Amino acid sequence: GAAPRRWLHRSLEALAVGLAALGSPLVLRRGEPSAVLAELAAETGAGAVLWNRRPDPAAEDADRRVAAALEARGVRGEGYDAALLFDPAAVRTKAGEPYRVFTPFWRACRALPEPYRPLRAPERLPAPPAPVRSDRLADWDLTDGADDGWTPGEAAARARLAGFLDGPVTRYAADRDIPSLDGTSRLSPHLHWGEIGPRQVWHAARHTADAHPERAPGIEAFLRELGWREFCQHQLRQAPDLAEKPLDLRFTAFPWREDPDLLSAWKHGRTGYPLVDAGMRQLLATGWMHNRVRMVVASFLVKDLLLPWQAGEAWFREALVDADPANNPANWQWVAGSGADAAPFFRIFNPVAQGEKFDPDGGYVRRWVPELAEMPEEWIHKPWQAPAPTLAAAGVRLGVTYPRPVVDHGLARQRALAAFSAIRGN
């Protein structure tokens, strides 16, 4: 997708600058990783190749091929779990099984020793003895030059973390659910792209809590969200097909619908439900969406439209700058009711009630659905119920300037519950 491609381009630009400051170039090549890295190791006389493991199955398979190719050339290859806080093998139930419920999982994590502190970055990184061939980043054609408001790179990640811990984290427990506020850390894309690690975030937050006790409650809530990320990562280690198959096998028989038109309306923020449409348009414009709204739009797709969660997971993977291969499918399965520690299927978010509770003045909707900008607060989350004079005064023509709802939420809720009842006994 365009947004993650732009992020990757800018992240590589920042990485090149950072490496150059240490004295070494960034080498870009395309091809089968095992062949490319074995060739590069031979060219540079490397004695070892080190990398951070990624939890998705394709990456793990690539890592195995890389290690075998290096071993065949007499080069040591070694992977590390720097993307995790805790060793999955150490977080087990008394029966030796992985946790399927978050609260006891997180309790078990907190009972372990603190994640170890990351090593300091080297102050110098000598360049290879001879120049090494590299592709030009511009030739990879990753970016269209659009500005989506993000600043990728390690320096930006550190600055964002520092700024968040310097004050906003104090209000995090309350502000993180209000999409019109900048109340979250927005570190998820930096974590996804490896520009900062969870252990760096952990220790910075713990240090801040020690130095500023008044921020401790917000930091504890923030660390719990970091723990949810960890929970998702551990899930993918246990279920490599997390993005394709439901953990709750009853959902393989769920009567999902196929409706390309409804799916397109959802993707492009044309459902007629303002909070849903605002979230989907924020995603298209920035490659990111507020977490509270992610839950609402996901519930709407799966339960109001009865479209499969895999379609939503695929769209988020295409459009999000932080579509982690573990977090994305695990959270979609959570909303669908088929995953670990899943919300019960009968927990169906009402998009109007969610808007009125978490966007009471309509500020979020007004920003991302400007055709409703003049609607009064009373009606902005349900314009189809507004009196005709109110619509006219706000310049809204339902079905023309803004769509009517694609489904009736009350009827859709009953339909979803009936569909779930059909599989409950399986």
> Which are the contacts of 111, defined by CB distance < 8 A and separation ≥ 6?
none
Structure token pair of residue 139: 């030739």
- DSSP sequence for 13-45: HHHHHHHHHHT-------S-HHHHHHHHHHHHT
Annotation marks residue 140 as catalytic = no
Element (H, E) at 121: none
CB atoms within 10 A of CB 216: 16
The per-residue b/e assignment along 83-121, b for 16 or more CB within 10 angstroms, e otherwise, is: bbbbebeebeeeeeebbbebeebbebbeeeeebeeeeee
Of the residues 51, 140, 256, 384, only one is catalytic, namely: 256
Structure token pair of residue 239: 């279920």
Element (H, E) at 59: helix 57-72
Three-class SS of residue 369?
A: coil
Element (H, E) at 78: strand 76-80
> Which are the contacts of 327, defined by CB distance < 8 A and separation ≥ 6?
188, 229, 232, 233
Of the residues 43, 220, 225, 356, only one is catalytic, namely: 225
> Which are the contacts of 224, defined by CB distance < 8 A and separation ≥ 6?
106
Annotation marks residue 225 as catalytic = yes
> Which are the contacts of 283, defined by CB distance < 8 A and separation ≥ 6?
289, 316, 319, 320
Annotation marks residue 266 as catalytic = no
Of the residues 13, 52, 140, 291, only one is catalytic, namely: 291
What whole-number distance in Å separates Cα of residue 294 and Cα of residue 98? 27
Annotation marks residue 379 as catalytic = no
Of the residues 7, 150, 228, 266, only one is catalytic, namely: 228
What whole-number distance in Å separates Cα of residue 305 and Cα of residue 146? 32
DSSP state of 406: S
User: What's at 387, amino acid-wise?
Assistant: P
Separation of first and last alpha carbons in the chain: 38
Of the residues 309, 315, 334, 368, only one is catalytic, namely: 309
Active site positions, annotated: 225, 228, 256, 291, 309, 332
